[in-house]
Amino acid sequence: MTEKICPVCNRPNISTAKRCWYCQSLLEDEQAEPGMTAEDLAGKEAEVTGSNEVPEWLARVRQRKAIEEMQQTRSLSPESLPPAEESGGQSGNQPDNQEKASREPEKAEASQLPEWLQGLGTPPPSEGVTKSLQMESTPEPENFSWLEKLKSWKARDEEDADTGSEQSEPPAPQPPAAQPTVEGSNEEWLAEFLTPAEESREETPSSDLETRVETPAMPAEIAEEKSLQPGSEKGPEDETYDFSGEEHPPLEEGHPVVTQFLDAEFSGSGSLPQPELPSVPTEEPSDILKEVAPTDNADLDWLTHYQEPEAEEPEEKALPSASQAGTTQPSAPFLGVQPSDWGESIPEPDIEPDFEAPEEEVEPAVLPAWMQGLRPIETKPQPSSVPSEETVREGPLAGIEGALVGANLGAAFEKPAMYTNKVQVTDRQSLRAELLQNLLSEPGEAKNAEEPRRPVRGKWLKRVMSLVMLVIVFAVLILAPGTSLLPVLFPPETANAYRLVNELSSDRPVLIAADFEAGLSGEMGFAAQSMLEHLMLRNIPLAVLSTNSVGSTLMDQMLANSQGLVSSYDASTRVVNFGYLAGASIGMQSLTSDLRTALPYDRNLVQAWTHPVVQNVYSLVDLGALVVVTDDADTGRYWIEQVQPALNGVPLILVTSAQAAPMLQPYYASGQVSAVVSGISGGSAYEQMMKLPGNSSYFFGAYQVLVLAVAALFLVGGLISLVKPAERGSKG
């Protein structure tokens, strides 16, 4: 069995095949004349081109062209000529007839093409193709104003071409790439554009586009500019969709669909996507159109390289080239088009599955390498020839070309006003603030500021007076110890104390509250020592407590000193020390409510009320007397206020310091206090009433001398202050 070699794809087919199983092309016996082989066709093509050095792919393309020409020639036979009515009533017009005749083979060829291929070029196309075309064109009819202009421009161009063809015999076919590519869903105008495209395919080696596609090195400028043509309205996403190769059955090289697609793309009037177009930076449509128009010449320069044989024909010289048409057409369809939003309104992949319809019968295959090379995904963005005007020069996008120009927000906002943290005040306010600061400042600071150093005279005066006092004390104690002038009259409050102690019963204990500090223990000893001796002499049991921490301890010392003078008194059996009573006035108040609860234990944490001295005492009333030994007037007042009302006739005797006596004297006058013994004078008086020598009388002489000395110092100081008044600003 002999095989038929496909003249297009050179692949073997069975002998009975009329079309190539691979590319669906007509085999030799169907295309060429009987007895003419592919080699003959190639040789004929070589004669036409006058060059045998063309590459193999070009030869193959031209071979196919020759086959098509032969088919055209065969279709131009009188039998195949259409009636005159079908030619528009121009039977007498030879160029028109030729033109009509040139279209007839296409129709014949189209009739031989598969249905899906016919649908691509003739209206009404199949639904899938229509949708694909819609995808590639502007979907909204109202945005087709530029397309209308394009059609009018196309029609005028055709008229010019016709006029030129009439002037130059014989009429030549239109140059293929001179027509701006327009795609769209409008079937009528699509048919108008597809027809001349197919016409141009007769003269233009459509396979040149294949070779161009196969040629990997397409000039970047051309690819970019072609992407800016109206036919490439769809964005990179659409291109990616069309050539993704995953959603559609793969198309092999030489497939009619591919061929038609490539022809259309090459001729510039194709409606299929253009694969090699790199992604174009987003720009304003008007800018893009303005840049496309003057660069059409460059777009076609590389194509004319393959059209040299046809360019030598005289009838083609008469026709304006595509580039010339582009440059000489001031009314280019895109120049007057207002920028529209067609680019934004292109529907996105929702039309993706519609493109599968024409390829249902195509055997799925691997996408060829050359087709993969066309995939926009893998295309590398070429350096843009757009002038650097669109390059962002500042901001975070500095150096990036084609960036969208955003709203100039910087100009809409002003720099915020700067506020300093420095308070702006007037002079008057600052003066007042300074005055307030001086008022609030520490007095010591102001004093130090005004008096940087203490006067030397005052310092030495204080030292001299202190030494004088010490010398007097030591002189009296050394020179005349015990020498004193004792008072003859006794204070009545002290005499009452002596009387009360004498009247106390020996079976009722006397509660002694020792509330004095250690610093005044000497004076308190002078005042209380004689009374304590008196109590011991009367063998009166004693109970001691204190509302400060050291009072009971100091009282123990006093009792020990008194016991040394009264040896008959057994302090171990006659004295109970309750120790510290916490709470001050609250503790005193607790004594009045429940004495045994307030004082549960003695100082040694022993049950105090089991002691024989106080075992019969249940309240303050059971006491013989309450003796408060204090150096503080307030403490004495607390005892008077809190405890005295609860005594119910039990004598309250105050043994106080000389400094507290004046403040407690009214309570004696009011009768709240039964007796008062205050200071060294009161102790000395008590000793005199007892007729026992004691420390108070012994030191009373020294005390008197010191009082006289102080009085003398006061007198001298007063006289000096009278003679020499104090300096201004100083106190006394």
Partner 1 sequence: MGQLNLNVDMVWTLVSLLLTLCVFSYVFGDNAFFRFATALFIGAAAGYFAVVILYQVLLPKLIVPLIQGSTLSLVPLVLSGLLLTKLSPRIGRLGNISMAVLVGSGAAIAIGGAALGTIFNQVRATVNSFGATSAGTGTSILESIFLLIGTVAALVYFNFGARQKQGEAPKRSKISSVLAGIGQFFIAVTLGAVFAGVLSAGLTALVERGDFILRSIMSLAGG
**Residue of 399, 645, 693, 717 interacting with partner 1 (CB under 8 A):** 645
CA distance 237 to 401: 20
Amino acid at residue number 566: V
CA distance 72 to 79: 13
What is the 8-class DSSP label of residue 13? Answer: E
Question: What is the four-CA torsion angle of 234, 236, 241, 242, rounded to 10 degrees?
Answer: 60
**Nearest C-alpha neighbor of 223 from the set 191, 263, 255, 265:** 265
**Residue of 78, 444, 452, 519 interacting with partner 1 (CB under 8 A):** 519
**Residue of 657, 674, 688, 697 interacting with partner 1 (CB under 8 A):** 657
CA distance 7 to 20: 9
**Residue of 111, 420, 424, 670 interacting with partner 1 (CB under 8 A):** 670
Q: 136 or 631: whose CB is closer to partner 1?
A: 631
Angle subtended at Cα 119 by Cα 113 and Cα 121, rounded to the nearest 5 degrees: 85
**Residue of 155, 397, 431, 707 interacting with partner 1 (CB under 8 A):** 707
**Residue of 258, 289, 520, 591 interacting with partner 1 (CB under 8 A):** 520
Least Å distance, CB 732 to partner 1, is 14
**Part of the chain binding partner 1 (CB under 8 A), chosen from 70-78, 349-357, 535-543, 576-584:** 576-584
Q: 359 or 523: whose CB is closer to partner 1?
A: 523
CA Rg value for the chain: 67
Q: 206 or 674: whose CB is closer to partner 1?
A: 674
Q: How far is CA 537 from CA 188, 463, 504, 566, 639, in A?
A: 148, 45, 12, 7, 26
Least Å distance, CB 491 to partner 1, is 13
Indicate whether 335 belongs to the interface with partner 1 (CB under 8 A). no
Amino acid at residue number 269: S
Buried b (16+ CB within 10 A) or exposed e, 514-532: bbbbeebbebbbbbbbbbb
**Part of the chain binding partner 1 (CB under 8 A), chosen from 174-182, 225-233, 267-275, 512-520:** 512-520
Indicate whether 489 belongs to the interface with partner 1 (CB under 8 A). no
Contact string (CB under 8 A) for partner 1, positions 625-644, x = contact: ------x-----xx-xxx-x
Indicate whether 669 belongs to the interface with partner 1 (CB under 8 A). yes
**Part of the chain binding partner 1 (CB under 8 A), chosen from 206-214, 290-298, 556-564, 596-604:** 596-604
CA distance 104 to 143: 34
| Phi and psi angles of residue 677, each rounded to the nearest 5 degrees, phi first | -120, 115
**Part of the chain binding partner 1 (CB under 8 A), chosen from 10-18, 54-62, 471-479, 717-725:** 471-479
Q: How many residues bind partner 1 (CB under 8 A)?
A: 61
Indicate whether 658 belongs to the interface with partner 1 (CB under 8 A). yes
Q: 51 or 474: whose CB is closer to partner 1?
A: 474
Question: What is the four-CA torsion angle of 711, 712, 717, 720, rounded to 10 degrees?
Answer: 140
| Phi and psi angles of residue 709, each rounded to the nearest 5 degrees, phi first | -65, -40
Quote the tokens at residue 438: 């001086």
| Phi and psi angles of residue 398, each rounded to the nearest 5 degrees, phi first | -60, 135
Indicate whether 603 belongs to the interface with partner 1 (CB under 8 A). yes
Q: 369 or 712: whose CB is closer to partner 1?
A: 712
Least Å distance, CB 565 to partner 1, is 17
Indicate whether 466 belongs to the interface with partner 1 (CB under 8 A). yes
Indicate whether 469 belongs to the interface with partner 1 (CB under 8 A). yes
Neighbours of 183 (CB within 10 A): 27
- Residues 190-219 binding partner 1 (CB under 8 A) are none
Cβ atoms of 608 and 638 within 8 Å: the answer is no
Indicate whether 585 belongs to the interface with partner 1 (CB under 8 A). yes
Indicate whether 726 belongs to the interface with partner 1 (CB under 8 A). no
**Residue of 348, 425, 463, 718 interacting with partner 1 (CB under 8 A):** 463
Least Å distance, CB 603 to partner 1, is 7
Indicate whether 702 belongs to the interface with partner 1 (CB under 8 A). yes
Q: How far is CA 391 from CA 167, 384, 399, 400, 411, in A?
A: 50, 11, 6, 6, 20
Indicate whether 530 belongs to the interface with partner 1 (CB under 8 A). no
**Nearest C-alpha neighbor of 194 from the set 118, 87, 86, 252:** 118
**Residue of 175, 184, 368, 679 interacting with partner 1 (CB under 8 A):** 679
Indicate whether 456 belongs to the interface with partner 1 (CB under 8 A). no
**Nearest C-alpha neighbor of 279 from the set 354, 384, 173:** 384
Cβ-in-10-Å burial (0-12, 13-18, 19+) of 55 comes to exposed
**Residue of 446, 586, 712, 726 interacting with partner 1 (CB under 8 A):** 586
**Residue of 241, 334, 526, 609 interacting with partner 1 (CB under 8 A):** 526
Q: 429 or 466: whose CB is closer to partner 1?
A: 466
**Residue of 18, 474, 719, 721 interacting with partner 1 (CB under 8 A):** 474
Indicate whether 554 belongs to the interface with partner 1 (CB under 8 A). no
- Identify the three-state secondary structure at position 721: helix
Buried b (16+ CB within 10 A) or exposed e, 627-639: bbbbbbbebbbbb
Q: 474 or 618: whose CB is closer to partner 1?
A: 474
Indicate whether 717 belongs to the interface with partner 1 (CB under 8 A). no
Least Å distance, CB 720 to partner 1, is 19
Q: 43 or 587: whose CB is closer to partner 1?
A: 587
Least Å distance, CB 463 to partner 1, is 6
Indicate whether 156 belongs to the interface with partner 1 (CB under 8 A). no
Q: Tabulate helix, strand, coil % of the chain (nearest 5).
A: 55, 5, 40
Indicate whether 605 belongs to the interface with partner 1 (CB under 8 A). yes
E strand or H helix at 200: helix 187-203
**Nearest C-alpha neighbor of 596 from the set 575, 612, 572, 616:** 616
Indicate whether 480 belongs to the interface with partner 1 (CB under 8 A). no
**Nearest C-alpha neighbor of 650 from the set 618, 619, 623:** 623
Q: 371 or 524: whose CB is closer to partner 1?
A: 524
Indicate whether 710 belongs to the interface with partner 1 (CB under 8 A). yes
CA distance 242 to 239: 5
Residues that bind partner 1 (CB under 8 A): 459, 462-463, 466-467, 469-470, 473-474, 477-478, 518-520, 522-523, 525-526, 549-550, 579-580, 582, 585-586, 589, 600-601, 603, 605, 631, 637-638, 640-642, 644-645, 657-663, 666-667, 669-672, 678-681, 699, 702-703, 706-707, 710
